[in-house]
Structures are given as structure tokens and as C-alpha cells.
Amino acid sequence: MTSRNSDEVLEKNQVQPSGDEVSETDPEVELATKIADQQDADVILYNGATYRHGADMLIAKCAARRRRKNVLLILVTQGGEADAAYRIARWLQNNYDRIALYVSGYCKSAGTLIATGAHDLIMSDYGELGPLDVQMSKRDELSESQSGLAVQDTLTTLQHHALESFVGILLEIKRGSRGAVSLKMATEIATSMTTGLFAPIYGQIDPLHVGESTRAMNITQEYGERLLESGGNMSSGALGQIISGYPSHGFVIDREEASQLFDSVNIPTREQDLLAKALGIRALLPVSQDDLDLPILEFLSPEPQDSEDTAEESQITGGGNEESADTPQHAATGTAQDADPQPAENGSHQEQDVEALRIAPDNQAGRGDP
């Protein structure tokens, strides 16, 4: 996508502030705060590839702050490593009660693996997931990749055509000879001809590469099964479908298609939709932050207030009330002493002064103690 097209998409998806609904200064924070309060959830934006450094960034940033019970993860990614995607989903499962994954735009490959670990899936009209077939580097190529299913599909196709050729040759020999050639002889001829046709093709297949692709697909299956144990938003059959049931890695899984795979698929709420529009291009397409391919990772909602801080503030406020309540008592005592027509002895005044000095620091210390 050219920069001009990106700017046009960004301009179209900007939110126009209206009344009290969106702050003119920072609509993202205001909307995210409202969502956080409604769902008791941290609102996080992750935009970029899912590699190890991205997983480390998310885990470190989440662990360094106070968290709410739940999390709403806005995920925009072109995919990446299955290992990193699994770490992200697993950590969120272990540290939040519920995970809601908001697919507001492009979320492919490893992003779909993270989706299998979520309890709820939210998809906008722009949202799209993709199949979970693992991408492997092509032989003798520097930067090109191919689906792990390509090898499996190649073997299946060759097997089908080889069997079809063998049966066709066999029947043709029997039919053409009008019984003059025995079944045994016809079978031997068909076998020899089929082997001659397909042996050169099978000879180009690397058994090690076949094993690598099978192992890679099994890794994805195992990661998905483990995430489903906690997420529970998809059946094992649906997981198998999303791994190997689609014809291409770029196949679009929109909200309607996703509803046939996941149990809980919802449209965004009004606030969620406005937040995605406020984020603009960051909620639609993966945006490279720099040459290191680091993801954009932001906590959109503010850090929740700690309960201990709240209790301390309440205690301090209560101490101030006690101080104001003590003041009238001293004032009333002073008034009564001033109104006493009998002069007090010097010794009595000194004792009262010493007693007042002894009591005052204790009261002040009591008022300042949290």
C-alpha cells in the first residue's frame, strides 16, 4: 500500500468529536477509559509482527503495571512466529480472568493462534483472520516462504494422480487386448508405466523437508489445543479446520466465517467502534515502527488505582476531620478559662501549659499516621 493510500484510509477513519462523547484532546484515552470502566479490562493495542521481541515487550509492559481483572487486546498483525504468539496468549490467560480479542483489521496467521486463546472474539467490518498453516522458507530461496500444507498437498495430489494413472492403464490394457492379456500381465505393465511416469517427480521430493513440514503443522496443532483448554471458544474440530481446511494462507476469514469456527463472535460496541476509528490506520493495517520491525504496543487505558492507595487517602481524609473536630473543643476550653472570674494560680497555669505541650505532638502524630 502506498503512503498516499494509507493517508486516505487514515483520514476516512478519523473520529469527529461530538459533545461529551469524545475528548477533543485525546479521544483514544477517553474512549479506552470508558471501555475499561465498563468491562473492568485493560485496553491494549498491539500492531506489528508477532516475534519474540514483541512478546517480550508485551509481557514486560504488562508485568510492570497494576492490572485490571480482564483485558481487551486490539491486535493488528501480519503474523510471525507460532512460539511468540503462544507466549503472548498463554501469559494473558495466566494473568487475566477473561481475554477479549478485538480484530479491528488485518490479523493473520500467528494472530489467529492468539485468537484461539481468547474467551471472546470481537470483529469489525474490516476485521479478518487467516488460516493457521505454518509458513516455511522455500528451498534455495533467501526470503521466500511457502505454506507447510504445500508439501502435504503435493504428496496427496501425486498419490491421487498415480493411482488414477495406474487404474486407467490397467483397464485400457484389458479392454484393448480383449482378454488376450492376463490380469497379472496387465498389472505388471500398468505398474511399470506408472512408475516410469511418476518416479522422476517423486525423486525431487526431499524426505527431510516433508518431515519438517509435518512437524511444523503438529506444533501449531499442539499450541492450539493447549490454548483451547483455557479459552474454550473453539472446538478441536474447528481448530483442525482452521489449520488445514483452507486452500491458501491468505484466505480471508471474516466475521461471518469466524462465527462458524468460534463459539463467541461479537460485533464491536459503540465505544469499541469509535476507539478503532480514533486509532485510524493503526487499527486496520500492520505499521512498521522502525527498521527493527518492533511492534506498536500501547496501553490505551490508564493504570487502575491501587486499593491500598485508596485506603490511605481515605485514612488521611479521616484524620483531617478529627483535627477539625478537635479545634472547637480547644477553643471552647479557652473561652471557658477566659470567662472564669477567679484568677488561677501560677503553678496551675504552668501545669496546664506543660500538659498541652505533651498532648499536642501526640495528636499531630496521630493525624499524620497512614
Per-residue pLDDT band at 333 (split at 50, 70, 90) = very low
Say whether both 284 and 244 belong to one domain. Answer: yes
Structural domain containing residue 163: 145-205
Domain end among 181, 205, 229: 205
Q: Which amino acid is at 304?
A: P
Domain count, the chain: 3
pTM: 0.70
Q: Which amino acid is at 87?
A: R
The per-residue pLDDT for 242 is 95
- Model confidence pLDDT, tens digit, residues 209-262: 788 888 878 899 999 999 999 999 999 999 999 999 998 889 999 999 999 999
Q: Are 120 and 90 in contact (CB under 8 A)?
A: no
Say whether both 132 and 70 belong to one domain. Answer: yes
In a domain, 210, yes or no: no
Mean pLDDT across 186-196: 93
The per-residue pLDDT for 347 is 47
For 222-270, the DSSP string reads HHHHHHHHHH-SB-HHHHHHHHHSSS-TT--B-HHHHTTTBS-EEPPPH
In a domain, 70, yes or no: yes
Say whether both 158 and 24 belong to one domain. Answer: no
Q: Are 283 and 276 in contact (CB under 8 A)?
A: yes
Say whether both 49 and 99 belong to one domain. Answer: yes
**What whole-number percentage of the chain has pLDDT above 90?**
58
- Model confidence pLDDT, tens digit, residues 10-50: 444 443 433 333 344 589 999 999 999 999 999 999 999 99
**What's the DSSP call for residue 291?**
T
Mean pLDDT across 86-101: 98
**pLDDT above 50 for 308:** yes
Residue 272 belongs to domain with CATH number: 3.90.226.10
The mean of the pLDDT values for the chain is: 80
The per-residue pLDDT for 316 is 54
The cell numbers describing 301, all together, are 487505558
- Model confidence pLDDT, tens digit, residues 334-345: 444 444 444 444
Say whether both 255 and 130 belong to one domain. Answer: yes
Per-residue pLDDT band at 315 (split at 50, 70, 90) = low
Q: Which residue in 123, 128, 129 sits closest to 272, CA to CA?
A: 123
Which residue stretches of the chain are H helix? 3-12, 27-39, 52-63, 82-95, 110-116, 148-177, 183-202, 207-231, 236-244, 255-258, 270-279, 307-339, 346-368
**pLDDT above 60 for 324:** no
- Model confidence pLDDT, tens digit, residues 35-88: 999 999 999 999 999 999 999 999 999 999 999 999 999 999 999 999 999 999
**pLDDT above 80 for 356:** no
The per-residue pLDDT for 327 is 42
Say whether both 82 and 156 belong to one domain. Answer: no
The per-residue pLDDT for 207 is 85
Per-residue pLDDT band at 370 (split at 50, 70, 90) = very low
Domain end among 282, 299, 316: 299
The per-residue pLDDT for 365 is 39
